């Protein structure tokens, strides 16, 4: 029987990065990804410092640059009327389509010779006395995979959460995210080297170019405050934010009508169990940071690094499972709890007309604050 030390569920940034770290530490790992790549996914597609550092760590940065990501050097926040605030980013950042980026990372995993089951979906996880069994399925047949440990890197929501009886699964967040790729030629005005945020009541939108003459338009809305349909959400933003309207003129609805939409409903930004039934959660499976921070991919990669260090420590210090779990939870909180809290608080301010106007006026008077706020959501 082939048995792996560790099976990783999910081949997004968290899963692929964990596979690379664990492989380098000498663990026998496999990764299971349910979709064929390249595949698109909901994301603002803004990559910041932690991502670049991780790529450099694996000598992948040169290869990444060959994918022609779009460099991003400044942050702009557009008020409802005709003004905006701007700051230079103090760290390297890029825009790139997630379809291209995630494929690039997973290819790096395959090139190492790490076993990747794809497209295979993990359907069941059962824990025996000696080892754990995963049932995986590719739509035509099922098979079993055996391992000692499991890392769940399957993203923000999944049928497995219900099966594992995770405590947030019945929570209603009313937060809905949507992404489009819009051709740059369709913009009236576009600052290609900026990440631009536009807000109106109950909604905010991030815009940045991602190379290949495409720009990502990605927004988060509170369904209790705006409408459900992506077109209606865009209308809310066009009516509520004059700067956003200027980007496309009156054409925006016709522009988005035929574009593929990538979306997710009911995005839960609260606390989740970090370990359950001996399964270690990383990336979005462990917690989702408010998208405003543009930091989820960086955090996914950092949590992958953390779990690898923890498993290495378990081996060298001969920690038992309970000690290892406690140690992971403690270190995870040290790394992420504060920035998740800050990002969520800022998001709440931005999505509320009244608080946003007050916040905007304060930053107009003290522009240095903007830089501090951006740094506070980073690792």
Ligand X SMILES: Cc1cc2nc3c(=O)[nH]c(=O)nc-3n(C[C@H](O)[C@H](O)[C@H](O)COP(=O)(O)OP(=O)(O)OC[C@H]3O[C@@H](n4cnc5c(N)ncnc54)[C@H](O)[C@@H]3O)c2cc1C
Name which position in 296, 314, 340, 343 contacts ligand X (CB under 6 A). Answer: 296
CB-based burial, 173-198: b 16+ in 10 Å, e otherwise: bebbbbbbbbeeebbeebbbebbbbb
- Cα dist. 151→10, 22, 42, 118, 264 in Å? 9, 11, 22, 17, 23
Number of residues that bind ligand X (CB under 6 A): 37
Q: Applying CB under 6 A, does 267 fall inside the site for ligand X?
A: yes
Please identify, among the stretches 150-158, 236-244, 328-336, 359-367, the one whose residues bind ligand X according to the rule CB under 6 A: 150-158
If the CB atoms of residues 14 and 354 are measured against ligand X, the closer one turns out to be 14
How far is the C-alpha of 72 from the C-alpha of 94, rounded, in Å? Answer: 5
Name which position in 220, 269, 307, 340 contacts ligand X (CB under 6 A). Answer: 220
Is the alpha carbon torsion for 97, 99, 105, 107 positive or negative?
negative
376 bridge partner residues: none
Q: Applying CB under 6 A, does 94 fall inside the site for ligand X?
A: no
Please identify, among the stretches 6-14, 143-151, 180-188, 238-246, the one whose residues bind ligand X according to the rule CB under 6 A: 6-14
Shortest separation between residue 81's beta carbon and ligand X, angstroms: 25
How far is the C-alpha of 364 from the C-alpha of 360, rounded, in Å? Answer: 6
φ and ψ of 95, to 5 deg: -115, 135
Helix and strand element counts for the chain (H, E): 12, 18
Name which position in 77, 154, 198, 281 contacts ligand X (CB under 6 A). Answer: 154
Q: Applying CB under 6 A, does 99 fall inside the site for ligand X?
A: no
Q: Print the binding letters for residues 173-192 with ligand X: x by CB under 6 A, - otherwise.
A: ----x---------------
Shortest separation between residue 160's beta carbon and ligand X, angstroms: 5
Q: Applying CB under 6 A, does 11 fall inside the site for ligand X?
A: yes
Quick one: which of 245, 250, 292 has its CA closest to 81?
A: 245
Binding site for ligand X (CB under 6 A): 9-15, 32-35, 41-46, 121-122, 153-155, 158, 160, 177, 218, 220, 267, 283-284, 291, 294-298, 300
């Amino acid at each position: 029987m082939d048995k792996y030390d560790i099976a990783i569920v999910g081949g997004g940034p968290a899963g692929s990065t964990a596979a690379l770290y664990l492989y380098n530490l000498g663990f026998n790992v496999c990764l299971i990804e349910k979709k064929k790549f390249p595949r698109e996914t909901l994301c603002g597609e803004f990559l910041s410092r932690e991502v670049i550092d991780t790529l450099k760590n694996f000598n992948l940065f040169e290869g990444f640059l060959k994918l022609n990501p779009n460099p991003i050097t400044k942050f702009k926040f557009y008020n409802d009327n005709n003004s905006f605030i701007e700051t230079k980013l103090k760290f390297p950042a890029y825009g790139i389509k997630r379809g291209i980026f995630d494929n690039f990372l997973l290819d790096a995993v395959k090139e190492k010779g790490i076993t990747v089951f794809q497209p295979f979906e993990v359907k069941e996880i059962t824990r025996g006395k000696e080892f754990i069994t995963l049932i995986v399925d590719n739509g035509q047949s099922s098979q079993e995979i055996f391992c000692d440990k499991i890392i769940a890197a399957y993203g923000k929501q999944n049928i497995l959460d219900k099966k594992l009886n995770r405590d947030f699964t019945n929570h209603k967040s009313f937060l809905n995210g949507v992404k489009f790729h819009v051709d740059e030629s369709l913009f009236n005005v576009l600052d290609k080297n900026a990440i631009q945020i536009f807000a109106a009541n109950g909604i905010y939108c991030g815009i940045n170019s991602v190379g290949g003459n495409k720009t990502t338009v990605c927004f988060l809305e509170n369904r209790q405050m705006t409408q459900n349909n992506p077109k209606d959400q865009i209308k809310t933003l066009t009516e509520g934010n004059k700067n956003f309207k200027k980007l496309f003129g009156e054409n925006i609805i016709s522009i988005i009508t035929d574009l593929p939409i990538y979306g997710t409903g009911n995005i839960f930004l609260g606390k989740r169990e970090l370990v359950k039934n001996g399964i270690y959660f990383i990336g979005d499976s462990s917690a989702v940071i408010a998208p405003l921070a543009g930091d989820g991919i960086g955090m996914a990669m950092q949590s992958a690094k953390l779990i690898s260090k923890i498993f290495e420590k378990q081996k060298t210090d001969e920690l038992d499972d309970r000690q290892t779990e406690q140690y992971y939870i403690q270190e995870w909180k040290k790394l992420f709890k504060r920035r998740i809290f800050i990002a969520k608080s800022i998001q709440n301010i931005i999505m509320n007309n009244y608080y946003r106007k007050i916040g905007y006026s304060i930053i107009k008077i003290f522009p240095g604050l903007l830089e501090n706020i951006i740094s506070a959501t980073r690792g």
